[in-house]
Structure 1
Amino acid sequence: MQTDLSPLATTQPLPQASRPGLSRSKGWWLNGLLAVLLVVVMIWSVGIGAVSIPIPDVLAILLKQLGWEVGVVEPQQETVLTVIRLPRILLGVLVGAVLGISGAAIQGLFRNPLADPGLIGISSGASVMAVLMIVLQLRVFSDLSSLSGLYALSLAAFAGAVGTTLLVYTLARKNGRTVVSTMLLVGVAINVFCEALRGLMMYLADDAQLRAISYWSLGSLGGASWEVLQVTTPFLLVPVLLMPRLSKPMNAFALGESQAGHLGVDVSKLKRNVVILATLGVGVAVAVSGVIGFIGLVIPHLIRLVSGANHRTVLPGSALLGAIVLTLSDLVARTLVAPAELPIGIITGMIGAPTFLFMLVRGAGRKPYTEN
């Protein structure tokens, strides 16, 4: 019988879901609370900005869009809410959800809470291709874009995410199976190469290109529109809806590859599905919003600290909390220095890094990620 020698698996293993009855009840309570909180945050956020819209007016405008006339609605408020803020908040909810659930799935795949989608090259691949597009103006992506290059940058970023992840996954296969430890090492090497290539492009860029690269690399939801939502929503929803279906095999996978195989889990299929869904979701998210850090790393941590390591709770809980945190971060980004706008990655970094350090220090003595 083979022994799983993955360095991530042996250093800080995620716990198996002990006391399943307690975890399940706690999971229903937590996810229900997060769902209600997400709705409240969305309604509250959509009314805040340069044009203030009281919550009763927000509800009246939303009901009017559904065909129910409730009171008198000001045209300016209706235009601001429906054309600018609502698509931006919906995009933030989708991006935050897919980053959170993808981070939880990748941590489950590597069986380590310090993993995130960037480990397998998704973010770095998207970033380097976007930088190449900005500096070199690659015509192939502009030509493929149906609207005179409007989506060229997003198309380049998504192609980079898919390409690097496919390369990492291919190089990690040995004797017909994917070795998680090799995937980690290949991902680290690819990330270093992408960072070097991105640094070279920044060296060659002019001032205007440097500003575009810096702003894009820190993330923003400023490009949200109903048209963007129409194109990206199916790709962002697929990982959010399908990943929770992998919770049962991922709970078994937390015991180790060999043990999961003995329990009837198709380990190779599980790895492939997690990588494909995470690449699809994070690739599209980075393509439309830039690189937004810490959501995929910190959010699953917070869910596990409250509910335990059962993926039936962790996966949907990470999606809901990721959507909440990114929506609130975007609210701060667009109001803190209004009428200007901060890159959203600055906000998530300033919130995520101290939170992550606090959890590490607080959990050092009681080992929250070891088996009970």
Structure 2
Amino acid sequence: MKFIDEARIEVIAGDGGNGVASFCREKFRPFGGPDGGDGGRGGSIWAVADRNINTLVDYRFSKLHKAKDGENGRGADCYGKGADDIFLRMPVGTLITDRNTDEVIADLTEHGQQVELVKGGEGGWGNIHFKTSTNRAPRQRTEGKEGERRELRLELKVLADVGLLGMPNAGKSTFITAVSNARPKIADYPFTTLHPNLGMVRVSHEKSFVIADIPGLIEGAADGAGLGIQFLKHLQRTGLLLHIVDLAPFDENVDPVKEAKALIKELRKYDESLYEKPRWLVLNKLDVLNEDERKKKVKDFVKRFGWKGPVFEISALNREGCDDLITEIYAYLEQKRTQEQRSQETQMKEEAQGILSIDPDDPRFKIIEE
């Protein structure tokens, strides 16, 4: 199935039912008084995050979602029935924005998360509510309110801890196959990967993380060339990027340094925040080089590329160096989670101290002596 990561839909909540003006007409009860009931509430529409769904394909073909209206009130104190709400199941990682205002309505990041997209209209009041000691036969009633309506843009951003960057045929799919449970298509021609792939990397029985692979980038991608730029947004949620470079291309005229610099240029042109993310350099396909040539090429690449960050030498085909890389990635992610948790705890303590602390000069806390 083709990977669908964007959709546009319209959601319309139900209108509230109208209240009714009615009077009791039972036998032996002359002047029975008002008995008009209220209208029912219109149906609302909710978005629900579901981890069992991984595309937005359903919303490409079903673009209009409308809830039912509430029933009108009736006599004999009968209230109209409220309409049922509609729940739209969406993949975890869906970003929902208003197409007209660009307001972010919801970011579905957890399974089971529910967000109200549009609210149903409240039902109108029947004349039973307008009865007073001086107005015993009221004929007033109110109509139900209209339900909300919105035009929405759905955008799926996959949730992963690590993202893979690289030119076409750099070996990203081979790498994610070697270290995770993902099984993407692998072939000896560029642009084999046509949609993002997610894989679970298991370091040990209780230690794991998620890795994402997107189609390869080419020069001019930020201006719309190629496929990778369409899926770069999926890497915005990742905590670490792996820049995979083919250090032994089949074409001798291809310069790995030039390609790597072109990719970084496109990345920065697309999104500065994505460019600033932590990034590691992974030199791939070193199994086709002898030891002396390998050392020479690695040293030459790092020097010409001007790289000062972490460098890993691997061969994804035979898993050489992959285990060490996976161990380092997990240690980095754990350290980052620990720092974020400590930062949150510190912030919570500071907020608690701010709430509990009393300023003696605050007039609200002055002691009154009698």
Q: TM-score higher than 0.5 here?
A: no
TM-score normalised by the chain length of structure 1: 0.21
Higher helix share: 1
Higher strand share: 2
* Larger Rg belongs to: 2
TM-score normalised by the chain length of structure 2: 0.21
Point out which structure has higher relative CO (alpha carbons under 8 A, 6+ apart).
1
